[in-house]
């Protein structure tokens, strides 16, 4: 299997553009209706805004977003845009099946914005995204299902973190060679590849806090 991510490290991993070779998100999802469950809902038909609160679950085909609050707006063409936020330590979570594979892209952040028309999902603050065994973390992640690209930065809203802040983009990319089960090429040669700094923290994103 080809690598899920190709990293271009910029300024000491202060920001990175991730060109993914992963398959597209499930194509059939775009034609599926949106189903939402919540404890409370308010509707503004004039502005085409629906606000769902309390243990909200949004489902559109294989796409699922869970959050404490989701605000859904609809444009004149009928396309929806959802903004999900959490409560306290509970972060909203995104999950969607990869086209043609029994794997999912999943992620979480303090705020998740999903644009059904552009097929783009953005993760803001304490952002984390995983596909298969590969993971990436930053303060902002933009996932474009059409172009199969990720854009990750160490600062908020697509910016680079201020020098000295300690914020970095961190990623774990597993080997995809055919003999991966028998060890990586470096291990086969009798050497051990150095671990990615900070990688241990990525596997438990809910416990991470902005520095």
Question: What CATH code is carried by the domain that includes residue 77?
Answer: 2.60.450.10
In a domain, 142, yes or no: yes
CA–CA–CA angle 204, 137, 20 (5° rounding): 125
Phi, psi of 129 (to 5 degrees): -135, 140
pLDDT digits (tens, 9 = 90+) for 2-12: 343 333 333 33
Distance, CA of 171 to chain centre:
13
In a domain, 171, yes or no: yes
The number of folded domains in the chain is 1
Phi, psi of 122 (to 5 degrees): -120, 140
Residue 41, strand partner residues? 52
In a domain, 19, yes or no: yes
In a domain, 1, yes or no: no
In a domain, 100, yes or no: yes
In a domain, 163, yes or no: yes
Return the half-sphere exposure (C-beta side, CA atoms, 13 A cut-off) of residue 132.
Answer: 18
In a domain, 182, yes or no: yes
Q: Which domain holds residue 165?
A: 6-207
pLDDT at residue 197 greater than cutoff 50: no
pLDDT digits (tens, 9 = 90+) for 104-149: 889 999 999 999 889 899 999 999 999 888 899 999 999 887 776 8
CB 32 within 8 A of CB 96: no
Reduced to 3 states (helix: H, G, I; strand: E, B; else coil), residue 207 is helix
The larger pLDDT score, comparing residue 91 to residue 18, is at: 91
Q: What is the average pLDDT across 19-27?
A: 45
Q: What is the average pLDDT across 25-45?
A: 84
In a domain, 130, yes or no: yes
């Amino acid at each position: 299997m080809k690598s899920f991510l190709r990293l271009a490290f910029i300024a000491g991993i202060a920001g990175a553009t991730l060109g993914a070779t992963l398959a597209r998100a499930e194509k059939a999802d775009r034609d599926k209706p949106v189903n939402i469950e919540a404890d409370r809902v308010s509707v503004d038909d004039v502005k085409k805004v629906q606000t769902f609160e309390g243990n909200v679950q949004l489902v559109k085909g294989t796409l699922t977003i869970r959050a404490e609050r989701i605000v859904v707006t609809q444009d004149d063409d009928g396309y929806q845009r959802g903004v999900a936020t959490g409560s306290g330590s509970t972060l909203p979570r995104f999950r969607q099946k990869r086209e043609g594979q029994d794997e999912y892209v999943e992620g979480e952040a303090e705020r998740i914005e999903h644009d059904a028309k552009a097929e783009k999902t953005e993760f803001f603050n304490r952002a984390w995204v995983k596909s298969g065994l590969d993971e990436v973390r930053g303060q902002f992640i933009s996932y474009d299902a059409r172009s199969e690209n990720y854009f990750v930065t160490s600062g908020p809203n697509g910016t680079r973190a201020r020098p000295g802040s300690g914020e970095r983009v961190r990623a774990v990319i597993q080997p995809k060679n055919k003999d991966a089960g028998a060890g990586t090429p470096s291990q086969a040669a009798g050497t051990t590849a150095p671990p990615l700094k900070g990688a241990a923290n990525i596997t438990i994103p809910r416990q991470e806090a902005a520095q």
